[in-house]
Amino acid sequence: MEEDLAMLRHLIGQLQELLHNNNNNNNGSPLLSSPSSSPSFLVLHHPQFHNGWCLPCIEETSADDCCDLVMAAGSKRPGLFNNMLETVKPPPPLKRTRKERNPGHDIIGNMDQDIWQDFPQDLFEAVVSRLPIATFFQFRAVCRKWNALIDSDSFSRYCTELPQTMPWFYTITHENVNSGQVYDPSLKKWHHPVIPALPKKSIVLPMASAGGLVCFLDIGHRNFYVSNPLTKSFRELPARSFKVWSRVAVGMTLNGNSTSHGYKVLWVGCEGEYEVYDSLSNVWTKRGTIPSNIKLPVLLNFKSQPVAIHSTLYFMLTEPEGILSYDMVSGKWKQFIIPGPPDLSDHTLAACGERLMLVGLLTKNAATCVCIWELQKMTLLWKEVDRMPNIWCLEFYGKHIRMNCLGNKGCLILLSLRSRQMNRLITYNAVTREWTKVPGCTVPRGGRKRLWIACGTAFHPSPTARA
């Protein structure tokens, strides 16, 4: 109590000295003011703060009386004295207007429209071609001129010169096999495009892709279709020279670096029959049968999609274990006998650049894990290079897991892992060795029901690819 009283007397003494100095200076100073309604009190202000202290008028009262007065008030309201000694908080910073925050905004907004009218078209197309695919399709809805960019040859050249973007995956579901579900891994988002020209009364499966185009085959193995899922560009391929009712494997490559140079589609059956379609001539060509040094029937692994490296297609064989290749330019077949890793169940071919890879389920006892192997060119043996994180593999322990590859392009692989209790979608990046869980695909337009992916293929999205 004595310490508080001594501190208060010291404060009042400083205020008396301050008041004395204030009276000697200009009486209009904003530091002190006396409310007319209470002449015995002074209000201490600071010009930079809104808050103030109201204190007894020290000129009319002695220091002891002031102490008694303040201490009496403090006894009625605890903490009053301490609150008087607290530092006054500064006011919040004033809000700046939008013009003050963006001083150059008005300059940009008021630019002469003639400047934009004379903006070079080639520079404009070069800039637009670098937009993300999803952003570009929102951008082209602005006006007819921008929408017509997809038909521009110069804009197509700009898009071709750019490095390929991350692939997308065109899939179909068990619940709705007549419409596609497209996954964009860069945004981790599902799109639901509709290709109106595809037949509605038959089941059409995505089989292969090249240059932004996806090749479809109906479930009866009768008709082929090629389409760009983004622009709805569509072509129904002519009828084949002969019918094959057995299951076939399908591959697709470009003639050059874009679809403007044409593309080829190959189908091959287990009895060695095959045909090649060329989009430039729009005909199927029967080049004969598989050479006699390759034993027939060719037992293809239809769960493994063919992969393309440059102009060569690679198919997975089940017996004998190995790889069957076909060069679309030279027309030559080759067979490589390559034993598979032990304890391997579901497996599929994949490609990353010029590397051939194998993705499969490694099952031993009750443990199951997804592993990655790379083909060694010198020894023609598979070498394990990566496997799924152990904490993910533990989720599969004791479960009967089935794996299905839903596409592989640009070193990115989409896998479906299913059991009775789960349906997991994951991607694997062969460059960064990163495993990523894919969000479930739900019913479009606000639905919550998750869809089960049946099959799919990967494609590089292109706004200029034409079927």
Q: Which domains does the chain have, with CATH numbers?
A: 2-85 (no CATH), 117-163 (no CATH), 167-459 (2.120.10.80)
pTM of the model: 0.71
- The confidence score (pLDDT) of residue 87 equals 43
How far apart (Å, rounded) are the C-alpha atoms in residues 191 and 154? 28
- The confidence score (pLDDT) of residue 30 equals 43
Long-range CB pairs of 13-18 (<8 Å, 24+ gap) are: 13/63, 15/44, 15/55, 15/58, 16/58, 16/63
Q: Please give the distance of CA 222 from its chain centroid, rounded to a whole number.
A: 36
Look at 454 and 12; give whichever has higher pLDDT.
454
**CA angle centred on 190, ends 189 and 196, rounded to 5°:** 145
- At 445, list the tokens: 């337009």
Residue 415 pLDDT more than 80? yes
Mean pLDDT of 20-49: 46
- The confidence score (pLDDT) of residue 55 equals 46
- The confidence score (pLDDT) of residue 76 equals 45
Highest mean pLDDT among 36-50, 103-117, 229-243: 229-243
Residue 91: pLDDT band by 50, 70, 90 thresholds?
Answer: low
SS3 90: coil
Residue 258 pLDDT more than 50? yes
Q: What rounded mean pLDDT belongs to the chain?
A: 78
Residue 42 pLDDT more than 80? no
Residue 179: pLDDT band by 50, 70, 90 thresholds?
Answer: confident
Mean pLDDT of 299-326: 90
Residue 48 pLDDT more than 50? no
The sign of the CA dihedral 18, 20, 24, 29 is positive
Minimum mean pLDDT among 21-30, 115-124, 385-394, 440-449: which range? 21-30
Cβ atoms of 231 and 241 within 8 Å: the answer is: no
Q: Please give the distance of CA 230 from its chain centroid, rounded to a whole number.
A: 17
Residue 77: pLDDT band by 50, 70, 90 thresholds?
Answer: very low
Look at 131 and 25; give whichever has higher pLDDT.
131
- The confidence score (pLDDT) of residue 375 equals 95
Residue 335: pLDDT band by 50, 70, 90 thresholds?
Answer: very high
Look at 386 and 143; give whichever has higher pLDDT.
386
DSSP-derived letter for residue 439 is P
Look at 166 and 75; give whichever has higher pLDDT.
166
Share of the chain above pLDDT 70, in %: 73
- The confidence score (pLDDT) of residue 231 equals 85
Give the burial string for 210-245 (b: 16+ CB within 10 Å, else e). bbbbbbbbbeebebbbbbbbbbebbbebeebeeebe
Residue 383: pLDDT band by 50, 70, 90 thresholds?
Answer: very high
Residue 180: pLDDT band by 50, 70, 90 thresholds?
Answer: confident
Share of the chain above pLDDT 90, in %: 31
Look at 127 and 377; give whichever has higher pLDDT.
377
Q: Helices 121-128 and 153-161 sit at what angle, rounded to 10 degrees?
A: 50
- The confidence score (pLDDT) of residue 1 equals 57
How far apart (Å, rounded) are the C-alpha atoms in residues 276 and 443? 37
The sign of the CA dihedral 8, 9, 11, 12 is positive
Cβ atoms of 207 and 448 within 8 Å: the answer is: no
Mean pLDDT of 179-190: 89
- At 2, list the tokens: 């004595």
Residue 445 pLDDT more than 90? no
- The confidence score (pLDDT) of residue 193 equals 85
| Amino acid identity, position 105 | H
Residue 176 pLDDT more than 50? yes
Minimum mean pLDDT among 34-38, 96-100, 336-340: which range? 34-38
Look at 240 and 95; give whichever has higher pLDDT.
240
Q: Please give the distance of CA 403 from its chain centroid, rounded to a whole number.
A: 23
Look at 64 and 237; give whichever has higher pLDDT.
237
- The confidence score (pLDDT) of residue 29 equals 43
- The confidence score (pLDDT) of residue 3 equals 60
Residue 423 pLDDT more than 90? no
**Burial level of 414, CB count in 10 A (0-12/13-18/19+)?**
buried
How far apart (Å, rounded) are the C-alpha atoms in residues 80 and 55? 12
How far apart (Å, rounded) are the C-alpha atoms in residues 265 and 247? 16
Residues 105-139 pLDDT 10s: 544 555 566 666 677 777 877 787 777 777 777 77
Tell me whether the omega of the peptide bond preceding residue 206 falls within 30 degrees of 0, making it cis: no
How far apart (Å, rounded) are the C-alpha atoms in residues 191 and 205? 18
- At 176, list the tokens: 């709705």
Residue 59 pLDDT more than 50? no
Cβ atoms of 314 and 325 within 8 Å: the answer is: yes
How far apart (Å, rounded) are the C-alpha atoms in residues 25 and 23? 5
- The confidence score (pLDDT) of residue 95 equals 64
Q: What is the DSSP string of 288-339?
A: -B--TTS-SS-EE-TTSPPEEETTEEEEEEEETTEEEEEETTT--EEEEE-P
Mean pLDDT of 430-448: 83
Q: Please give the distance of CA 204 from its chain centroid, rounded to a whole number.
A: 27
Residue 104: pLDDT band by 50, 70, 90 thresholds?
Answer: low
Pairing of strands 453-459, 32-33: unpaired
Q: Please give the distance of CA 278 from its chain centroid, rounded to a whole number.
A: 34
Give which of 260, 150, 170 is closest to 211, Cα–Cα: 260
DSSP-derived letter for residue 450 is B
Long-range CB pairs of 236-240 (<8 Å, 24+ gap) are: 236/197, 237/265, 237/277, 237/284, 238/282, 238/283, 238/284, 240/267, 240/275, 240/284
- The confidence score (pLDDT) of residue 5 equals 60
Residue 413 pLDDT more than 60? yes
